[in-house]
Amino acid sequence: MRIAGAGRTDAGVHATGQVISFRAASALDGQALGRGVNALLPEDIAVGAVEQADERFHARFSATSRTYEYRVRNAPARAPLERLRELHLPGTLDVAAMREAAQHLLGRHDFAAFAAGESGERTVRRVGLAQDGAVVRFEIEADAFLRGMVRGIMGTLLWVGRGKIGPGRFGEILAEQDRSLAGPSAAAKGLCLVAVEYGESGYRGHGASDPEDLHAEGE
């Protein structure tokens, strides 16, 4: 059986809202098929739901948007139980400056400055950045993403948070479309694909955050 995923992730990146599509000649309903597959999967992956789709549906090409979240634990002490889901940074971050810089991402741009490979234009529909106790969460929704794009963005936002560059310089780096000017890619473990949308009848991953909690801004 061949399966198609809504998106690919780098090694070490997580997904709580991944979607796959496949064709199957089975008499089992979705609930029974999901139980059977989960019985065979390793412990680090599970099927949340199985639904019958239109013949034309494709997990990747039918998607209208994807949402990623990046988590940073900004505290002197690390959290061992969250070590695989968060980047630990003990130094103080200027979250307000990071939030201001992130607004430059909204709209349609060539994100070559943050991509690990080919350049290309993408439309960012929403960004949000908030701090909940020691955890800083960055969320971004776009029609599609370039390879390594979110990790490149986050690495450069961390430059802003540490005071290495200002929010205005972040916007200039985006416009200059030169990867060598941006920050290093943030660690893969802090990144998670949380939602994939398919228009009005879409699917949204269970790990997606409430946009209002992230001070979301739209186009």
Is the C-alpha dihedral spanning 200, 123, 98, 184 positive or negative? positive
For residue 192, which amino acid is it?
A: C
- DSSP secondary structure, 70-108, as one string: EEEE-SSS--GGGTTT-EE--S---HHHHHHHHGGGSEE
Which member of 10, 132, 178, 213 is catalytic? 10
Is the C-alpha dihedral spanning 107, 111, 115, 119 positive or negative? positive
Q: How far apart are CA 215 and CA 195, in angstroms?
A: 18
Phi, psi dihedrals of residue 212, rounded to the nearest 5°? -65, -30
For residue 58, which amino acid is it?
A: H
8 Å CB contact between 155 and 170: no
E strand spans, 92-155:
107-110, 121-132, 135-142
Q: Is residue 10 annotated as part of the catalytic site, yes or no? A: yes
DSSP 8-class letter at 40: H
Catalytic positions: 10
